[in-house]
Structure 1
């Protein structure tokens, strides 16, 4: 199903079409027509883990030595990102817990200002409500990666992001490169489990891909068809988890997500204004670097603005890692409290 819906999402200009198209389609079926699914059906977890790992490889491969050429400015921006993550996390937790009535674990993981897959994985480990958590994270991505490209497109008078036909993956990749990709993926997944990393199925391959890229041991270039397939599988798997979701909950989650995204974009705008003196990047590029949307989509928007995609990518990687680290600490604390 996802393979048929994704091209339609591309045609319609949907941001992150290969992820969000299948997610919307499978989620719609899970919510409105769950009876057509086999009784007790669950998407194969092992398949999902492999394709989440591929996304981690793609992100990790974007980390290059050039990203660390100005350590002082990088340290200041990382500090600002840490403050942004903390303020956004606390503000979102208040919105979801106090206004939405969510339990503590669900509120904090649903309010994570980044890391769609990571926050869902950590939420599952922490006992969060999976339906509410996935719905809020999904709506966060939808709001940010839909509204921001549209707003920038209207401002610039030209399409940006995936609607502009840009991508990090290669259209064609030598088949001889695939064994190296497979080995790195497998070792990354294993390392993530052995080291007990948060959201290990993604962060393990991500960190290993970054290590081999920075060391020069291997150049990881995923073919476009493989990246597309990974997004289709992940989107379909996430959407199917909405089976039996109450429609009233969907309306409530949409309102809460609107409040949450408004708060985060206000914070992103404030930090972008404060950081302008640090470099030559214009306000819109720094804003994209803080916007709590999908890493790939934000970097693609940067390409459309003729900005350095590595600059934007590094900021989002730092934001994701800070978010995952913070949730990881909270997750371990919550598990100890239950013992």
Structure 2
């Protein structure tokens, strides 16, 4: 009960936990529905994240329980593993030196942008380095949190870039190819489930999450199912089956965990840094467009394929755009996948390298 003469509690803090969860669920459904209707990428994650921010800023005290959150990480790892196919591996092996050169160049450029943002104190510590990583948005947020960076600001940078990149890619794809009739497919929330693959996927997620925690690997609950599942799926030893309702739950848990950590001060900081963040995103998109031109000139790849392949981030949204366009889909996904794995594998080392040689980031 609030004392008569005491300071008033924030709005949501006056509600019981059940009431706060009800508000969070309702706002999440509305925001995610609006984003989905607008055909924005990652709507099922961004909606709960925005709802979590709103609830957190007005005084919400609820938090996502640890075990369900780790389970959500494992499901995301399985989701990415399911995208690794033999066709992608074949495409990579055909041009692997150029692929690696392009990916490493992109990583170097993004790290430089992140370092400059941190050096100019736009963002604290190594937050700018993690937030500027070119791809693997959800993975970068989870790993940044594990390595002590401000996951809230990293999420703000990463998902803002995902929206910007996807919007730019959609506009360019429409410039080359008429995709007006290829709208987003209706979501089948409860499709028929093949019990065997579904059970194998859950086992991979559960055992991988436990192994990642026991081995004390940063973001191991996601990385172990991702790596093990990728190998097994590429070799045809496992079929990843994840119904939409389970993915939506995983996205929601991760979005809520990020959003509920926001406070008014964090939101104000993010708003103040918005012009610099948008400038860094534009610079990275321009740099990757230059790499696309290199692909066109050296391999004779068509411009749209090259642009989609080098777009910095949002692998799932780029896959959707590529699938509805007349492009070399295996080539696009091969380069996107190689970058994803290198970003995940090298991201922590790059952040630590920059931090050790930059006293102002300590």
The TM tier, using the shorter chain, reads 0.7 to 0.9
SS in structure 2 of the partner of residue 296 of structure 1: helix
Question: 1:171 Cα shift?
Answer: 4.4
Measured in 2, the distance between the counterparts of 1:83 and 1:150 equals 25
Change (3 A) 1:169 1:83: farther
Change (3 A) 1:75 1:167: farther
The answer on whether the counterparts of 1:144 and 1:293 sit within 8 Å (CA) in structure 2 is: yes
Measured in 1, the distance between the counterparts of 2:80 and 2:176 equals 28
In the alignment, does 2:166 pair up with 1:145? yes
Measured in 1, the distance between the counterparts of 2:80 and 2:256 equals 20
Aligned to 1:328: 348
Measured in 2, the distance between the counterparts of 1:282 and 1:170 equals 38
Q: Deviations over 1:52-92 (max 9, x none)?
A: 22121111112122223252413321221111111221123
The answer on whether the counterparts of 2:29 and 2:47 sit within 8 Å (CA) in structure 1 is: no
Question: 1:181 Cα shift?
Answer: 1.0
Aligned to 1:276: 296
- List aligned pairs for 1:152-301, cutoff 5 A: 152-153=173-174, 156-159=177-180, 163-165=183-185, 171-277=191-297, 279=299, 281-301=301-321
Measured in 2, the distance between the counterparts of 1:127 and 1:100 equals 17
Question: 1:18 Cα shift?
Answer: 1.1
- List aligned pairs for 1:38-53, cutoff 5 A: 38=61, 41-53=62-74
In structure 1, which of residues 87, 101, 105 is the aligned counterpart of residue 126 of structure 2?
A: 105
In structure 1, which of residues 82, 88, 108 is the aligned counterpart of residue 104 of structure 2?
A: 82
The answer on whether the counterparts of 2:209 and 2:224 sit within 8 Å (CA) in structure 1 is: yes
SS in structure 2 of the partner of residue 69 of structure 1: helix
Deviates more, 1:238-247 or 1:173-182: 238-247
Unaligned runs of 5+ in 1: none
- List aligned pairs for 1:48-87, cutoff 5 A: 48-70=69-91, 71-87=93-109
Change (3 A) 1:30 1:58: same
Change (3 A) 1:62 1:132: closer
Measured in 2, the distance between the counterparts of 1:220 and 1:248 equals 41
The answer on whether the counterparts of 1:171 and 1:223 sit within 8 Å (CA) in structure 2 is: yes
The answer on whether the counterparts of 1:57 and 1:209 sit within 8 Å (CA) in structure 2 is: yes
Q: Deviations over 1:210-262 (max 9, x none)?
A: 11112222111322222233223322322222233455323223212211111
Question: 1:151 Cα shift?
Answer: 4.6
Measured in 2, the distance between the counterparts of 1:84 and 1:64 equals 24
RMSD of Structure 2 on Structure 1 (CA): 3.1
Question: 1:200 Cα shift?
Answer: 1.9
Aligned to 1:312: 332
Q: How many residues align?
A: 332
Change (3 A) 1:319 1:330: same
Structure of greater relative contact order (alpha carbons < 8 Å, 6+ residues apart): 1
Aligned to 2:7: none
TM-score of the superposed pair, with normalisation by structure 1 = 0.85
In the alignment, does 2:146 pair up with 1:120? no
Question: 1:197 Cα shift?
Answer: 4.2
Change (3 A) 1:123 1:143: same
The answer on whether the counterparts of 1:188 and 1:207 sit within 8 Å (CA) in structure 2 is: no
Change (3 A) 1:134 1:67: closer
Aligned to 1:25: 51
SS in structure 1 of the partner of residue 273 of structure 2: helix
Measured in 2, the distance between the counterparts of 1:190 and 1:80 equals 35
